[in-house]
A = this chain, B = another copy of it.
Amino acid sequence: MSKTLKHEIKADGLIDKGMMLLWSKGYNATSVNDIVKEAGVPKGSFYFYFKSKEDFAIKSIEKYFQQQFGPAFELLDNKTISPKQRLLDLYELRSNILKEQFDCKMGCLGCNLANEMAEHSEAIRNAVHSKTEMIKSKIASVIEEAQNYGEISNTLPAIDLAAFMEDAGRGAMVSMKEMNSAYPIDNFMTIIRSVLLK
């Protein structure tokens, strides 16, 4: 096994554990000590694998999006299903994860960190932003497909509609955490079905 691979496996273990802390507690409320304790790794090792806490957060953001949105986006590429249905499947999948897997508690790591850190860490802001842009453009292209296919009569520019839906989803996640309830997510699904993707 190559050195760099072994190195990456170790670093990945740290990220796996630390990501959950960052996700549920936020950046400032998660200490490096919390992370190494959770991963069962000595403190000194942390700074062998990561340049800083900020560097760790950025690597966690990258892993998070890859892990959470990789499978979700495979849905969007399945050409045997109509474009509109693919969009609905994507949102359905994401909202079920939010509701069931995490009990309406965590929201989205990217959104959480963007909200907490955008003003204070340009690096974190950029890390989230570039992923978000990628997601928006993927969704926009399927919306456009559905519009051309005649499945969505809404004539708004696809990229604006995609941006709006993603924003609405983000807000629904904030409210979900605030209300401790799945209502905002369910309401989001109802309204994109009945109004936005009509």
Name A's B-contacting residues (CB within 8 A).
Answer: 24-26, 28-29, 105-107, 111-112, 114-116, 118-120, 125, 128-129, 132, 154, 156, 160-161, 163-164, 166-175, 177-180, 183-184, 187-188, 190-191, 194-196
Contacts and interface: CB of A to CB of B under 8 A. Distances in A.
B177 A172 contact: no
A187 B174 contact: no
A191 B119 contact: no
Contacts of A170: 170-171, 174-175
Nearest to A175: B167
Contact of A115 (B163, B168, B177, B195): B177
5 contacts: A107-B115, A132-B175, A167-B188, A170-B170, A170-B171
Nearest to A169: B171
Given A115-B115, A116-B26, A116-B115, A191 B164 contact: yes
Counting from the closest, the 7 A-B pairs by CB-CB distance are A171-B171, A28-B28, A170-B171, A167-B171, A168-B168, A114-B178, A118-B177
Contacts of A111: 115, 174
Nearest to A185: B167
A28 B160 CA distance: 34
Contact of A114 (B120, B156, B174): B174
A128 B178 CA distance: 8
| A115, A163, A194: residue with the most chain B Cβ atoms closer than 10 Å | A115
A29 B169 CA distance: 26
